[in-house]
Structure formats: C-alpha cells, structure tokens
C-alpha cells in the first residue's frame, strides 16, 4: 500500500466516482451527470485515478469508458492483512498494561 493511492481516493469526488464505477464502466459524461460535477473536473479527477492505476480507459468511438482495476484494491487488502492481528487478538500486552496504569491513576 502507498500514500499516493490513498491520496487519490481521499478526494471526495474521486471517492464517489469509484463508488459509481463499482457497478461497471462509465463514460466521462455519465460520471459528470451523476456527480453533478462539470466535465472538465471529471476528466481531471479521472486522470489522477488513472495515474495510480485505480482506473483504466476503454475507448469506444467518441466515448471513453472508465473502468476500475482490481490491483490497487488487492494491495489495500494485503496491507490490511498486516493489521488483522491487531483486532483479532485481544492480547496486546503493552496496551493492556498501559490501560491498566491509566485506570489506576483515575481512581
């Protein structure tokens, strides 16, 4: 996982675009319509998404269909894997120890 990908997703309009694209490829115009965003901004946002390979283009005549690419999401998934132990194991020795300290102090 890398900050650049996260940064691309962090912008609200782009995030929404990804949500829309989940259901299938869309053209620039369709995205602009659904998002209530002007076409040039949509093109710019798509460019950003494309640079981090979240999206790919499929030209079809006049139109350009944008489609999600699975890789970045797989990467996020792999990254999250490295955190799974955090919420699956309730051991967390030091954390418990510190919490205990805190509770004692709050008495």
Contact 67, 31 (CB under 8 A): no
CA angle 81, 69, 5 (to 5 degrees): 60
C-beta of 11 vs 78, nearer to DNA = 11
Using CB under 8 A, pick the residue from 47, 49, 77, 107 that binds its own copies.
77
Contact call for residue 70 and its own copies (CB under 8 A): yes
Q: What would the DSSP string read from start to end of 25-67?
A: -EEHHHHHHHHT--HHHHHHHHHHHHHTTSEEEEEETTEEEEE
Contact call for residue 48 and its own copies (CB under 8 A): no
Q: What is the C-alpha separation between 8 and 15, in angstroms, rounded? A: 8
C-beta of 16 vs 43, nearer to its own copies = 16
C-beta of 19 vs 33, nearer to its own copies = 19
Instruction: State the residues that interact with its own copies by CB under 8 A.
Output: 3, 6-7, 9-12, 15, 22, 24-25, 58-60, 65, 67-68, 70, 73-74, 76-77, 80, 82-83, 86-87, 92, 94-95, 98-99, 101-102, 105
């Amino acid at each position: 996982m890398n900050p650049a990908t996260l940064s691309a997703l962090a912008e609200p309009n782009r995030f929404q675009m990804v949500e829309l694209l989940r259901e299938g490829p869309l053209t620039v115009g369709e995205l602009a319509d659904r998002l209530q965003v002007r076409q040039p901004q949509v093109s710019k946002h798509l460019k950003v998404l494309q640079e981090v390979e979240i999206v790919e283009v499929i030209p079809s005549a006049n139109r350009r269909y944008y489609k999600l690419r699975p890789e970045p999401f797989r990467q996020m998934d792999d990254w999250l894997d490295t955190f799974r132990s955090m919420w699956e194991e309730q051991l967390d020795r030091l954390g418990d120890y510190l919490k205990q300290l805190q509770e004692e102090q709050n008495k």
